[in-house]
Amino acid sequence: MFRTLMTSVAAAALATPLLAAVHAPLVVSTDAATGPGSLSEALAQASAATTPTTILITTEGDIALDATATYDGAAPLTLIGRGQTLMANGDFTLLAIAQGADVTIHALNFTGPGGFDIANQSTGTPGKGIYVGVPQDATGTVTLTLQDVTVRDVAGHGIHLSDCSLADACGAGAGGGGDGSAASISVILNGVTVENAGHGSFDSDGVRVDERGDGDITFHASASRFISVGADGVELDEGDAGDVRVTSIDNHYDLNGNYCDPAVVASFLPDPDEGEFEPGVLAEADAPGPVTGSPDDRCIEREVDLHDDGSVAEYAFGIDLDDGFDVDEAGDGSIIATLTGGQIMNNTDEGLDFDEAGAGDITLTLVGALAEGNTDDAIKLSEEDAGDVTVVATAITARANGGKGVVLEEADAGDLALTGVDLSTEANDDSDDTGLELVQEDAGAGSATLIRANLSDGMDLDGVTLP
């Protein structure tokens, strides 16, 4: 039906003179990388257009690319395929949208060369599946819409939208830097799979959005899978004023975060890899220094705390693993999220990890989701400043996670409120009696209402009342 519909649309456009002059799609009729009828030629023609352009890929074969397919235009672009694959003959980005145009892609696959891991890293700029760069003078909303699209086997991010002046050096979360435009970013994914991406470079995610200006991030995903990614399955970083709005329906965030493979990296940790000391016992110069000589030294985190006299109070080293779904909002904005159905399983750090710093709140609605087998906490929300944490969780199961089942933290002047209905936690925190942890540390109220809850591994409440 899909092929028939697309053929009918193309035929109608070509058959009507007026439509042919204004709306006729460009047709990719060959699987050759360049030349007449190629994708490269169609993108070049579309880049010169000032009105929205549609490219129909009708070739039966897959398209092997020798270089990045680039769209340089500012007008909206639609790419319509029939399940063909764009294959990279090397470690480079498959499709680049250079000027922040609105792009819609239907029924296409993007495949890199594969074979990446920490021992077989990208040797240049890591290739991505789809990249959208947002110009510094952009306004309005830059929108990427994907339907029935697969991205796999690339060294870098599977899908990357960047509104950041530092490009790939933008950094992640609250620690990220760079400036951005006034534009917002919207990502709409339906039936999308991002698999085996990000294993060729440090901190490369399945889907990554960097927003460093005053705009918002809107992320809507349904019936999609973000699995076996080197870093986070999905990471949304809003580093300035602006909200992060999430709608997730029946998605899988599984098996992510293992680029810094402990089987490879752990032998480079100092022995012991942590220690606590009384004042004057250990000088800072005598503490173990940053690790060097490992396959990727960025994989090993180092923290040192000092006493007032400058001697070491404690130090700790750890391996930087990543999450299933990570959201960081570090400016004046809120995180507003709804997750319905789906699963968050077997990620090497937290399953779902939302952090908000600055003026703003965290508001989360969870319905009918399973969080299981994650190495750290299954679901963790942290509000660092004067904002509220409000969570409604219905029919949620968190079990057999290495950390706690559900963790909600409010560290400043703000309220924390949980309403849990049919909330189940079991065998979490290595069965150490912490299925649910609620912490309200400063001025503000903390409350929890639980209905038909089954917390077989117990609760830990700090500053939170349970009516």
Q: What is the DSSP string of 212-240?
A: -SS--EEEEEES-EEES-SS-SEEEEE-S
- Which has the minimum average pLDDT: 164-173, 328-337, 351-360, 421-430? 164-173
% residues pLDDT > 90 (the chain): 86
Q: What is the pLDDT of residue 263?
A: 95
What residues have CB less than 8 Å from 306, skipping those under 6 apart?
Answer: 284, 312, 313
What are 26's two structure tokens? Answer: 């460009």
> Does residue 6 surpass a pLDDT of 80?
no
CA angle 169, 123, 295 (to 5 degrees): 85
Residue 151 CA: distances (Å) to CA of 125, 320, 322: 18, 24, 19
User: What pLDDT, on the 0 to 100 scale, is given for residue 17?
Assistant: 42
> Where residue 91 falls among pLDDT bands split at 50, 70, 90?
very high
Q: Is 429 exposed, middle or buried (0-12, 13-18, 19+ CB in 10 A)?
A: buried
What are the tokens at 10? 């193309």
Q: What gap in Å lies between CA 166 and CA 394, rounded to an integer?
A: 40
Task: Tell me if 52 sits within 8 A of 78, measured CB to CB.
Answer: yes
Whether the CB-CB separation of 329 and 355 falls below 8 Å is answered with yes
Please report the pLDDT score of residue 439 as a whole number.
97
Is residue 63 within a helix (H) or strand (E), and if so which, with residue range?
A: strand 63-65
Residue 369 above 70 pLDDT?
A: yes
> What pLDDT, on the 0 to 100 scale, is given for residue 33?
86
Phi, psi dihedrals of residue 411, rounded to the nearest 5° = -100, 0
Q: How does strand 300-306 pair with strand 312-319?
A: antiparallel
Least confident range from 168-177, 227-236, 384-393: namely: 168-177
Distance CA 101, CA 93 (A): 17
Tell me the per-residue pLDDT of 231-244, one tens digit each, with 9 for 90 and over. Answer: 999 999 998 889 99
**Residue pair 427/397 in contact by the 8 Å Cβ criterion:** no
The C-alpha atoms of residue 66 and residue 82 are separated, in whole angstroms, by 21
pLDDT value at 16 more than 80: no
432 — pLDDT class (breaks 50, 70, 90): confident
Give pLDDT tens digits for 24-55: 899 999 999 899 999 999 999 999 999 999 99
- Sorted by sequence, the CB contacts under 8 Å of residue 292 that are 6+ apart come out as none
Residues in CB range of 336: below 8 A, 6 or more apart: 243, 244, 245, 246, 363
Per-residue DSSP letter, 258: -
Looking at residue 240, what is its pLDDT? 86
Vertex 272, ends 269 and 278: CA angle to 5°? 130
Residue type at position 405: G
At residue 285, the pLDDT reads 96
Query: Confidence class of residue 3 from pLDDT cuts 50, 70 and 90?
Result: very low
Among the ranges given (20-29, 131-140, 368-377), the one the predictor scored with the smallest mean pLDDT: 20-29
Mean pLDDT computed over every residue of the chain: 93
Is the pLDDT assigned to residue 175 strictly greater than 50?
A: yes
- Report pLDDT for 172: 67
291: its two tokens: 């690790």
Question: Is pLDDT at 220 greater than 90 in this prediction?
Answer: yes
130: left (phi over 0), alpha (psi -120 to 50) or beta: beta
Residue 129 has pLDDT above 50, yes or no: yes
Tokens coding 130? 């789809």
What is the structure's pLDDT at 381? 98
pLDDT at 2 over 50: no
384 pLDDT above the threshold of 90? yes
Q: Which residues have CB under 8 Å from 125's CB, separation 6+?
A: 92, 156, 168
Average pLDDT estimate for 219-228: 98
Question: Which among 444, 466, 446, 440 has a CA at the least distance from the CA of 455?
Answer: 466
